[in-house]
Amino acid sequence: MDALALDPNGYGGTYKLIGGNRALDLVNTISWPLTSRRHDWFDLPTNVTTWLEAVELDPVPVTDSDLAAITEIRQVVAEVVRPLADGDRPPVDAIRSLNTHVSGANSRRFVDPTSLSWTWPMPQRPAHALDPVLLDAAELITAGKHGRLKQCPSCAWLFSDQTRNGGRRWCDMADCGSRAKSRSYYHRSKASS
Ligand SMILES: [Zn+2]
């Protein structure tokens, strides 16, 4: 999978849309969470706009002052989906916070009389561009199938396993998957030498 052209701001890694769901791809805009390699791709407001466009949301201009509201939404989503990917129940408070944001997002959508589909007006604030992602998060949680919600055992990126046999293990075979493969090859060849 190709990397999305986000400005790495001096960071050595890349960002990829590997989540299979926008809510997970939003959470994954922090690479290597909880490690010393942690990198927040949303440190740069221009990256937020590029990301919005890549996931087919309104690519609104974002400034530094919008980042707090945007990363708060990301945090709220992460606190609900990451426990599920770990096989745990999300804390009740996390669900409450999500509900507050989902209800805001719901209040802004309407049925478009022409397309007869759910539609959002142009976002009044940049954070509102994430409204559809909040509903994606709610859908992901309420649809069940939590066993399909996984995290990469190497980098902790989250993804929805959409393979037929549910055997997906890595964020991307080209990254963590091939690193693990070459590691196990190394160990095997060490053992046999
Ligand atoms: Zn990974």
Span 135-159, pLDDT tens digits: 999 999 999 889 999 999 999 999 9
Ligand 1 geometric centre to CA of 19 (Å): 11
Ligand 1 geometric centre to CA of 129 (Å): 27
Contact 118, 60 (CB under 8 A): no
3-class DSSP state of 184: helix
Calculate mean pLDDT across residues 90-105.
Answer: 98
What CA–CA distance (Å, rounded) separates 105 from 57? 14
What CA–CA distance (Å, rounded) separates 55 from 110? 20
For 70, the enclosing helix (H) or strand (E) is helix 67-85
Sign of the torsion angle spanned by Cα atoms 184, 186, 189, 190: negative
Contact 19, 10 (CB under 8 A): no
Q: For the domain 22-167, what is the CATH superfamily, name and number? A: Jann2411-like domain (1.10.3300.10)
Domain ranges of the chain: 22-167
Ligand 1 geometric centre to CA of 155 (Å): 4
Q: How confident is the model at residue 177 (pLDDT cuts 50, 70, 90)?
A: confident
Q: What is the pTM of this model?
A: 0.92
Ligand 1 geometric centre to CA of 33 (Å): 11
Contact 29, 51 (CB under 8 A): yes
Per the DSSP assignment, residues forming a β-bridge with 160 are: 149
Residue 193 has pLDDT above 50, yes or no: no
Ligand 1 geometric centre to CA of 110 (Å): 37
Name the region of 4 (left: φ>0; alpha: ψ -120 to 50; beta: rest).
beta
Residue 108 has pLDDT above 50, yes or no: yes
Ligand 1 geometric centre to CA of 77 (Å): 19
Residue 134 has pLDDT above 50, yes or no: yes
